[in-house]
Amino acid sequence: MEAFDNLLYGFQVVFQFDNLLFCAIGVLVGTLVGVLPGIGPVGAMALLLPATFKSTPVSSLIMLAGIYYGAQYGGSTTSILVNIPGEASTVITCLDGYQMARQGRAGPALSIAAWGSFIAGTFSVIGLMLVAVPLAQAALSFGPPEYFALVCMGLVILTYLAQKSILKALMMALVGLLLGNIGLDIITGLPRFTLGINELTDGVGISPMVMGLFGIAEVLENLEQSVPREILRTRLSHLYPSLKDWIESKWAIVRGTIIGFFLGILPGGGAILATFISYAVEKKVSKHPERFGKGAIQGVASPESANNAAAGGSLIPLLSLGIPPNVVMAMLFSALIIHGLQPGPMLIKSNPDLFWGLVASMYVGNILLLVLNLPLIGMWVQVLRIPYKVLFPLILLFCLIGAYSINSTTFDLYVMIFFGTAGYLMRKFGYEIAPLVLAYVLGPQLEQALRQSLLISKGSFMIFITRPISGVAIALAFLLLLSALLPCFKKPREEYEAFGE
C-alpha cells in the first residue's frame, strides 16, 4: 500500500508541466537518436547534460532516462526497415524484422516491436519499484569494504561480458580508473596528474569525454566507409498487429520481459545480452524454429521486449546502490552528481520526489512513446532518408556545441577531439569503450572505498574477505576471472566473441 501511495506521489511530480515537457522531449530525442545512425543515447545524453544544469534534478533525470528507453524504441525502426540497427541492442531485431518488412509486413513488425516494448517497459518499472526500495534499505548497512567489493565485482562482470577480448576490456577498465585519478585528490585535496593544466584540476569532464568516445569516434568510423543505405520501400499500412500476431507473440513478450529485466540488472551489456538470450530462448522453445530468421514475429517481439525491460532493470543498481551497471547509467550517475545528489541507498529516502517521479515518468514515457511512435512511424522513416553527408556535420556540430557549452571554454573541445581520436583508434584496435567510461565514473568511489577500508582495517586486506557481502562479491569476481582461463569455458567464450563480431 505504501508503494501505491508513493507511486501516486510520483504521478503528482511527473504531471507538473515542466516534468511532463522534459519527459516528452526525452522520449522524442531518444527515439530520434535511436533511429539515426551515428549518435546513440549515450552521446545524446552527454550532449543534453549541460542543457539540464538550469533545470531541477527531477526534470533532468526524467529527460535523460527518457532518452535511454526512447532509443530502444527508435532503434528497432532502422533494424526493421533498413536492416541496420540503430542501437547495439536492436541488432538481433534485424534478423526477423527486416525479413518481415521484405514480405510486406513492416507494419506488424514495427507495431509488435512498439507494443512489446511498451508492455515490457511497463512491467520492468513495476519490477524496479518492487526491488529498488528494499535493496536500498538493505544497502544502508553497507560500509566501504562492501562498496569496494561490489564495484570490483561490477567491473569484472562488465569486462567478462565484453564482446571482444576480456584482456583488452580489463586493460580499458584500468585506463578508466587512471583517468578518474586526474584532478584533485579526494582526501588531501591536492592536484595530481594534471600536467600543469589548470582546467584539469576538476578532472576530465565526463561530457566531452563521452561525446568524443561515442559521438566523434562513431562519425570518424562511418566516414571512412561509404556503405549505401537502402530503405525498403514498403507500404506502412496495417500498423496494428492482427489477433494471430498477438497470439503468436504473447509468450515471446512475457519471456523477453523476464529475461530482459533480470539481465538488465547485471553490469555490462545487459540490454544487448538480453536480446541475444531472449532470441535464442524463443528459437529453442518454438515449435517451428526453422521460421526464425525468415520473418518470425516472435523474433521481433521477444528481443524488443527484452531490451526495454532491461532499461528498467538497469536502473536498480544505480538508484538503490549508487553503482551504475552500464555507460548509460554512468551518464545518469554523472547527472545526479552534477546536481549535487549522491547516488546510493540514501537517495530514495532523502529524495523521494526524484525516485518516485522517475518511476512514474517511465510509465508516462512508455505511454507517450506508444502514442507518439505508431502514428509517427512515417515521419521516422523520412528521418531515415536524410543522407549521411547532411547528417554527420550536424552530429559533429551538436557535439561541439555540447562540449563547449558546459564551461564555455575551448579546452573542452580539445578534450572531446582527443577522446574522439582515441575512441576511433580503440575501435580499430579492438578495445571496448564501455569498461573505460564505467571505470572512470566509478574510479573516485572505488578509490575512496579502498582507502577508507584500509584505514578502518589498519592496512589489512582481509577486511574484504572476512565481511560476508564483500567476501562473496570478491569471490564471485575472482571466480569469473578464473573461469575465463579454464578450458571448459573457452569454447562458449569463443562462440560468444564470434557472435559479438
Site residues for other proteins per CB under 8 A: 50-51, 54, 167-168, 170-171, 174-175, 177-178, 181, 185, 187-188, 190, 192-193, 216, 219-220, 223-226, 388-390, 392-394, 396-397, 400-401, 404-405, 408, 410, 413-414, 417, 420-421, 424, 428-431, 443, 446-447, 450-451, 454-455, 458-461
Question: What minimum distance in Å lies between the beta carbon of 422 and other proteins?
Answer: 11
Nearer to other proteins, 25 or 370 (CB): 25
Question: What minimum distance in Å lies between the beta carbon of 491 and other proteins?
Answer: 15
Nearer to other proteins, 246 or 411 (CB): 411
Residue with cell 537502402: 230
Nearer to other proteins, 141 or 225 (CB): 225
Nearer to other proteins, 143 or 352 (CB): 143
Nearer to other proteins, 181 or 234 (CB): 181
Alpha carbon distance 192, 248 (integer Å): 59
135: buried, middle or exposed (CB in 10 Å: 19+, 13-18, 0-12)? middle
Question: What minimum distance in Å lies between the beta carbon of 492 and other proteins?
Answer: 18
Cα separations in angstroms, 134 against 9, 121, 128, 138: 18, 21, 10, 6
Q: In 183-236, which residue ranges form alpha helices assigned H by DSSP?
A: 206-210, 217-223
Question: What minimum distance in Å lies between the beta carbon of 22 and other proteins?
Answer: 13
CA geometry: angle 11, 13, 19, nearest 5 deg? 110
Nearer to other proteins, 165 or 234 (CB): 165
Residue 485 — φ and ψ, nearest 5°?
-90, -20
38: its cell numbers: 551515428
Answer whether 259's CB lies under 8 Å from 397's CB. no
Strand partners, 183: 192
Strand partners, 184: 191
Nearer to other proteins, 16 or 55 (CB): 55
Question: What minimum distance in Å lies between the beta carbon of 19 and other proteins?
Answer: 18
Cα separations in angstroms, 326 against 118, 226, 267, 289, 458: 22, 31, 6, 32, 33
Answer whether 301's CB lies under 8 Å from 307's CB. no
Nearer to other proteins, 170 or 370 (CB): 170
Residue 194 — φ and ψ, nearest 5°?
-90, -5
Upper half-sphere CA count for residue 17 (Cβ side, 13 Å): 0
Question: What minimum distance in Å lies between the beta carbon of 457 and other proteins?
Answer: 9
Nearer to other proteins, 175 or 341 (CB): 175
The DSSP output letter for 183 is E
Answer whether 449's CB lies under 8 Å from 147's CB. yes
Q: For the chain, state the CA radius of gyration.
A: 22
Question: What minimum distance in Å lies between the beta carbon of 458 and other proteins?
Answer: 5
Nearer to other proteins, 120 or 149 (CB): 149
Specify the DSSP element, H or E, that contains 54: none
Question: What minimum distance in Å lies between the beta carbon of 88 and other proteins?
Answer: 21
Cα separations in angstroms, 89 against 252, 271, 450: 17, 6, 34
Question: What minimum distance in Å lies between the beta carbon of 479 and other proteins?
Answer: 19
Cα separations in angstroms, 167 against 75, 164, 430, 437, 490: 30, 9, 11, 16, 13
Question: What minimum distance in Å lies between the beta carbon of 393 and other proteins?
Answer: 4
381: its cell numbers: 522513416
Question: What minimum distance in Å lies between the beta carbon of 425 and other proteins?
Answer: 8
Residue with cell 499500412: 237
Distance separating the N- and C-terminal Cα atoms of the chain:
47
Nearer to other proteins, 177 or 336 (CB): 177
